[in-house]
Structure 1
Amino acid sequence: MPHATPFLMFQGGNAQAALDLYFATFPDSGLLSVDRYGKGELGTEGSIKTARFTVCGSEFMCSDSPIEHAFSFTPSSSIFVEFEAADALDSTFGVLSKGGEVLMPLDDYGFSRRFGWLTDRFGVSWQLSLPLAR
């Protein structure tokens, strides 16, 4: 049975710094496995060849691309995180938006009690939401 896993490709050796930020920011997040480039391999020695990790219990993969590309992340593909408390959402929004770009500031947009959309300093797009009462 096929299994789909979101994959984030970082440039400039930023994968480890991004993972450190995500693990420090989100609960139930951490490294599952990592394979690093060795001496003489295509990528920078010690950078991430592939890593499996969780953010809020969901599994992802990432790598440091050893090849320069004319593209990076786009906000049209984002990680959507639902929160149970506004203070946790606000705190996370503040951490992730530092050095990044706010696409939609925190507000009540009608589809969520509190919602914000941002791109973090690594270019990864996040939608943070406090759902309407269920």
Structure 2
Amino acid sequence: MTTTITPNIWYAGDAEEAAAAYTAFFPDSHVVQTVRYPSEGLPDFQKDMAGKVLTIDLVVGGLPLTLINADATFRPNPSISFMVNFDPSRDPEAREHLDELWARLAEGGRVLMELGQYPHSPRYGWVEDRFGVSWQLILTNPDGDPRPFVLPTFLFGGPAQNRAAEASAYYREVLPGSHEGATVLYPEALGPAVAGSVMFSDLVLAGTWVAMMDAAAEVDHTFGEGVSLAVTAADQAEIDRLWAALSAVPEAEQCGWCKDRFGVSWQVVPENMGELMAHPGSYERLMQMKKIVVAEL
């Protein structure tokens, strides 16, 4: 199995509702599997979750996602959003479909950028749905190279301002199966974005297309555990390599989670994690770990 990355989104007890909404809202969407908390052996702070849904693996618009069903300790924010590309060259009714999805996502949510015409697109808007997840809907240029329907998108602001190019280069070096896509730079300073920083870029990380940009306005949020990236490793040696490269904040290390030099949260997990977690007592042992040690699971 090759290295893969999968965005993980943290929900405050409503992951099942979110999964039902997304699979109804988006084409090419379905639930792959649902995992439940163990019925016993949970730490005190999780005892009320015994037997409830822990994670839901699903595909949303062709993009694999994992929804984590937990409490309100962490919440997603616009630092990592999901860009949805509506391409008129592939869908003659792209504009109509964009507007339909916008209406569904905006219901009960919060508009971050109004749906309308912008210099970069004739139809674009940024919305936070009722679960707190951010989506950028864009009518793309049919003359451009095709991209996936849904792309995880990183906004480098606050303490990570103007570091998108640095992060792109670092991630491509660390993650196998990665390469650069298109890049557009700010020709002059705009807000906190300095001249030459990244207005927009896209790239492939471990086989998954993502987008990155430096914020052109001051933001009051930055990367966190609300949206993390799970990266699979074939064996303990690869877990060790990825952990050494991605973990830069010792106090954030727990249960295979770590935080990199830019503040982005990662989960470094063995590719057979499901099989390992089926062993008796594995959940309790995982909760005591920082970096995952396969032999101890």
Name the TM-score, length of structure 2 as normaliser. Answer: 0.42
Alignment: residue pair count = 131
TM alignment of 1:39-50, pairs within 5 A: 39-40=39-40, 41=42, 42=46, 44-45=49-50, 47-50=52-55
TM alignment of 1:1-134, pairs within 5 A: 1-11=2-12, 13-40=13-40, 41=42, 42=46, 44-45=49-50, 47-65=52-70, 67-69=71-73, 71-84=74-87, 85-134=94-143
Amino acid at match of 2:11: F
User: How far does residue 87 in structure 1 lie from its aligned partner after superposition?
Assistant: 0.7
Secondary structure of the equivalent of 1:92?
A: helix
- Structure showing the higher helix proportion among its residues: 2
Q: 1:104 to 1:46 in 2, by over 3 A?
A: farther
Amino acid at match of 2:64: E
Aligned-partner Cα distance in 1 for 2:51–2:138: 35
CA RMSD in angstroms, aligned pairs only: 1.6
Aligned-partner Cα distance in 1 for 2:51–2:25: 24
Aligned-partner Cα distance in 1 for 2:22–2:69: 16
User: How far does residue 68 in structure 1 lie from its aligned partner after superposition?
Assistant: 4.2
Amino acid at match of 2:66: M
Name the TM-score, length of structure 1 as normaliser. Answer: 0.89
Is the 1:101–1:120 Cα contact (8 Å) retained in structure 2?
yes
Bigger mean CA deviation after superposition, 23-32 or 34-43? 34-43
Amino acid at match of 2:10: M
Deviations, residues 27-81 of structure 1 (Å, cap 9, x unaligned)? 000101111235445352453212211011111111112x541x41111210111
Max Rg structure: 2
Amino acid at match of 2:101: T
Is the 2:19–2:56 Cα contact (8 Å) retained in structure 1?
no
Amino acid at match of 1:2: T
Is the 1:97–1:118 Cα contact (8 Å) retained in structure 2?
yes
Secondary structure of the equivalent of 1:103?
A: strand
Is the 1:100–1:121 Cα contact (8 Å) retained in structure 2?
yes
Secondary structure of the equivalent of 1:87?
A: helix
Is the 1:16–1:47 Cα contact (8 Å) retained in structure 2?
no
Aligned-partner Cα distance in 2 for 1:68–1:90: 31
Report runs of 4+ in structure 1 exceeding 6 Å deviation: none
Aligned counterpart, 2:254 = none
Amino acid at match of 2:17: A
Unaligned runs of 5+ in 1: none
Secondary structure of the equivalent of 2:67?
A: strand
